[in-house]
C-alpha cells in the first residue's frame, strides 16, 4: 500500500530568488477611488467640503464613535486631541517607546513631557503595570499605541485612567478595522487618532481622523483644524456661506481636502475586505514560521480583532549566526523589501539629550527591537508573493542556523 504523505506547505530551497523586487508596501487604490478624485477635480471644490463631511459621517458610523474630525495626518489628530484635552506646560503624558516619533513629538509641541513606559513582549503594546509605575502628580494622559494593528489592553488602561483621572488618547495609526472585546478601536476612549498615510491600511495619500464621543472635544478640534475660525467658516466661498467669520483661537492648518476624502470614502468601503486579506496572509506566514524555531511569530491575543497593519517577526536570540541587520540585507538580496518598526524613541539622540533617556531604560522594547523585522503584508500581494517571502526566510535560516 502506498503511504499517504501530506503535500508540503512550501517547498524550501528549490525555488530561486524571485525575479522582481517585492516592495515592503503598496497602496491598494481601485477605479472607484480614481473616478471619485476625478469627480472632485471636475467639481471645482478641492479643499475641505462635502466629500470630507461624507467621509467623516461614514467613518463615525464605521468605528461607532459619536464624532469624527478629518485632518491632514494622524500627527495632526494627536496634536489636536492633546490641545483639546488641555495638555500643556509641565504636564506628563505616558506612552510607549516602541512607536513613531510623532506620538511623542506632539506631546512636546504642547510643552508637555513624554514619559515612556515599557511594553509587553507578547503584543508589543504598553504594559499597564509599567504605566502605573510612571504615574506622578503631573501625569495628565496616556497615549496607548495599537502596535501593528493589535489593540492594547484597553480595559486595564481605561481602569488606570479612571483611577488616576487621566485622559486616554489612542494612537490608532495601525488600527483601523481593529476591535477590542467587541468594540471598534476609535469608540472606547476620550479620543483616537487614525493615520491615512500612504503605507497604512486605509490611505488618502496623507490624512488622518480624530474620533471621540465627546462633543465638546470634537468642537474644539473642528475649530482648531482650520485656523481657529468660527464655525462653518469653511463654507464662506459657497452659496450658503457668508464672507463673515471670527477667529476664536490661534488654530492650525490641519484640515483634510475633498481630494483626500475622495480616496477615503472608497477605501473605507473596502476596509473590512482589506483586513480579511491581511488576516489570511498573516495566517499563512504564521503557519509556515511556527515550524522554524529561529523565528518568533506575532500572536493575536484573545477577545480582539487584529488589523494586521504589520507582520513583525523576531529572530530568536543567538539562534542564528547573523544578526537582524544582516538578515534584512539577505532578504534584500532575495528581492524582498522589509522594514523595522520602530527604532525605540529612547535610542534617538533628541529624546536622550532632552529627557535623559538612555539605552537599557526599556529592556523589553530593546529586546523586541533587536530581532524585529517587518515583512511585506498588503492586499496587492498575491498568495504566491507570500510564499516567496516564506521561502526566502527559510533559505536564509537554513544558511545561518547555529
Ligand atoms: C504612521 C504613524 C503615525 C503618524 O501618522 P501620520 O498620518 O503620518 O501623521 C503616528 N503613529 C504611528 C504609530 C504611526 O505608525
Q: Is the CB of 173 under 6 A from ligand 1?
A: yes
CA torsion, ordered 125, 131, 134, 137, to nearest 10 deg: 130
CA nearest neighbour of 108 among 97, 127, 92, 96: 92
| Ligand 1 center from residue 318 Cα (angstroms) | 32
Closest CA to 214 of 79, 85, 87, 86: 85
Determine the Cα–Cα distance for residues 96 and 115; give it in Å rounded to an integer.
8
**Contact by Cβ (8 Å): 399, 334:** no
- Going from the C-alpha of 80 to that of each of 217, 253, 380, the distances in angstroms are 9, 11, 33
Q: How many CB atoms lie within 10 A of CB 290?
A: 12
Cell 457668508 appears where?
242
With a cut of 80, say whether residue 370 has pLDDT above it. Answer: yes
CA of 294 relative to ligand 1 center, distance in Å: 30
> Are residues 86 and 94 in contact, defined by beta-carbon separation less than 8 angstroms?
no
Are 59 and 68 spatial neighbours (Cβ–Cβ below 8 Å)?
yes
Tell me the best of 105, 174, 175, 195 to mutate to test the pocket of ligand 1, counting ligand atoms within 8 Å of each CB and taking the most.
Answer: 195
pTM given for the model: 0.95
Does residue 3 have a pLDDT over 50?
A: no
8 Å CB contact between 390 and 8 = no
- Here the cell at position 8 is 508540503
Ligand 1 closest atom vs CA 77: 9
DSSP single-letter state for residue 297? -
Give the integer Cα–Cα distance in Å for 23 and 310: 14
Average model confidence (pLDDT) across the chain: 95
**How many whole angstroms separate alpha carbon 292 and alpha carbon 253?**
49
Q: Where are the beta strands (DSSP E) in 31-121?
A: 67-71, 92-95, 113-116
pLDDT in tens, 233-274: 666 777 777 788 899 999 999 999 999 999 999 999 999 999
Q: State which ligand 1 atom lies nearest to the alpha carbon of 208.
A: 7
User: Cell digits for 212?
Assistant: 471621540
- CA of 215: how far to CAs of 55, 103, 139, 224, in Å? 18, 23, 24, 14
The confidence band for 345, taking pLDDT boundaries of 50, 70 and 90, is very high
- For residue 37, give every residue at least 6 positions away whose Cβ sits within 8 Å of its Cβ, in sequence order, or none: 259, 262, 263
Whole-number Å distance between alpha carbons of 46 and 219? 23
pLDDT band per the 50, 70, 90 thresholds, residue 10: very low
Q: How far apart are CA 121 and CA 103, in angstroms?
A: 20
Distance 74 CA to ligand 1 centre (A): 5
Q: Is residue 341's pLDDT more than 50? A: yes
Out of 102, 207, 264, 307, mutate this one to test ligand 1's pocket (max ligand atoms within 8 Å of CB): namely 102
Instruction: Please work out whether the CB of residue 195 comes within 6 Å of at least one atom of ligand 1.
Output: yes
62 lines ligand 1 (CB under 6 A): no
How many A from CA of 48 to the centre of ligand 1? Answer: 21
Q: Of 40, 44, 73, which Cα lies nearest the Cα of 54?
A: 40
254 lines ligand 1 (CB under 6 A): no
What positions carry a catalytic annotation? 200
**388 touches ligand 1 (CB under 6 Å):** no
pLDDT digits (tens, 9 = 90+) for 73-88: 999 999 999 999 999 9
The answer, yes or no, to whether any atom of ligand 1 lies below 6 A from the CB of 152, is no
* pLDDT confidence of residue 131: 98
Q: What are phi and psi of 268, to 5 degrees?
A: -65, -40
Residues 6+ apart with CB under 8 A from 347: 359, 366, 369
- Binding site membership of 72 for ligand 1 (Cβ less than 6 Å): no
What is the number of the ligand 1 atom nearest to the C-alpha of 171? 11
100 CB under 6 A from ligand 1?
yes
Residue 25: pLDDT above 90? Answer: yes
Name the pLDDT band for 309 (thresholds 50, 70, 90). Answer: very high
Q: Is the pLDDT of residue 9 over 70?
A: no
Task: Please tell me the distance between residue 56's alpha carbon and the centre of ligand 1 in angstroms.
Answer: 19
Instruction: Render pLDDT for 161-213 as a digit per residue (tens, 0 to 9).
Output: 999 999 999 999 999 999 999 999 999 999 999 999 999 999 999 999 999 99
For residue 225, what are the CA distances in angstroms to 147, 154, 228, 236? 26, 28, 7, 16
Percentage of the chain modeled with pLDDT above 90: 92
Interval between CA 17 and ligand 1 midpoint (Å): 33
Binding site membership of 74 for ligand 1 (Cβ less than 6 Å): yes
Summarised one tens digit per residue, pLDDT across range 113-155 is 999 999 999 999 999 999 999 999 999 999 999 999 999 999 9
Distance (angstroms) between ligand 1 centre and the Cα of 382 equals: 26
The closest residue, in CA terms, to atom 5 on ligand 1 is: 74
Amino acid at each position: 500500500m502506498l503511504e499517504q504523505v501530506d503535500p508540503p506547505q512550501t517547498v524550501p530551497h528549490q525555488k530561486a530568488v524571485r525575479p522582481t523586487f517585492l516592495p515592503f508596501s503598496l497602496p491598494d487604490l481601485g477605479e472607484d477611488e480614481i473616478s471619485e478624485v476625478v469627480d472632485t477635480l471636475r467639481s471645482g471644490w478641492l479643499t475641505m467640503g462635502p466629500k470630507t463631511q461624507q467621509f467623516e459621517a461614514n467613518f463615525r458610523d464605521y468605528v461607532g464613535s459619536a464624532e469624527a474630525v478629518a485632518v491632514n495626518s494622524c500627527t495632526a489628530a494627536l496634536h489636536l486631541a492633546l490641545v483639546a484635552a488641555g495638555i500643556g506646560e509641565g504636564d506628563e503624558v505616558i506612552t510607549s517607546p516602541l512607536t513613531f516619533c510623532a506620538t511623542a513629538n506632539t506631546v512636546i509641541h504642547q510643552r508637555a513631557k513624554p514619559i515612556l513606559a515599557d511594553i509587553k513582549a507578547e503584543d508589543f503594546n504598553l504594559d499597564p503595570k509599567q504605566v502605573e509605575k510612571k504615574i506622578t502628580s503631573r501625569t495628565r494622559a496616556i497615549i496607548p499605541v495599537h502596535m501593528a494593528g493589535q489593540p492594547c489592553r484597553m480595559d486595564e488602561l481605561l481602569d488606570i485612567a479612571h483611577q488616576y483621572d487621566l485622559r486616554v488618547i489612542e494612537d490608532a495609526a495601525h488600527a483601523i478595522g481593529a476591535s477590542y472585546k467587541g468594540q471598534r478601536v476609535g469608540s472606547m476612549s476620550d479620543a483616537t487618532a487614525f493615520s491615512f498615510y500612504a503605507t497604512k491600511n486605509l490611505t488618502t495619500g496623507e490624512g488622518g481622523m480624530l474620533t471621540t464621543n465627546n462633543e465638546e472635544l470634537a468642537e474644539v478640534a473642528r475649530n482648531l483644524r482650520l485656523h481657529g475660525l468660527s464655525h462653518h467658516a469653511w463654507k464662506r466661498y459657497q452659496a450658503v456661506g457668508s464672507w463673515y467669520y471670527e477667529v476664536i483661537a490661534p488654530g492650525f492648518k490641519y484640515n483634510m481636502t475633498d481630494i483626500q476624502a475622495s480616496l477615503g470614502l472608497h477605501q473605507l468601503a473596502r476596509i473590512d475586505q482589506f483586513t480579511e486579506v491581511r488576516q489570511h496572509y498573516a495566517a499563512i506566514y504564521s503557519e509556515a514560521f511556527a515550524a522554524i524555531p529561529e523565528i518568533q511569530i506575532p500572536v493575536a491575543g484573545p477577545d480582539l480583532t487584529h488589523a494586521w497593519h504589520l507582520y513583525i517577526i523576531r529572530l530568536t536570540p543567538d539562534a542564528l549566526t547573523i544578526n537582524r541587520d544582516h538578515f534584512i540585507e539577505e532578504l534584500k538580496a532575495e528581492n524582498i523589501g522589509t522594514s523595522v518598526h520602530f527604532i525605540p524613541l529612547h535610542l534617538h539622540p533628541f529624546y536622550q539629550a532632552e529627557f535623559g533617556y538612555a539605552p537599557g531604560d526599556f529592556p523589553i522594547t530593546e529586546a523586541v527591537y533587536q530581532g524585529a523585522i517587518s515583512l511585506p503584508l498588503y492586499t496587492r500581494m498575491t498568495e504566491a508573493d507570500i510564499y516567496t517571502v516564506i521561502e526566502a526566510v527559510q533559505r536564509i535560516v537554513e544558511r545561518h542556523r547555529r
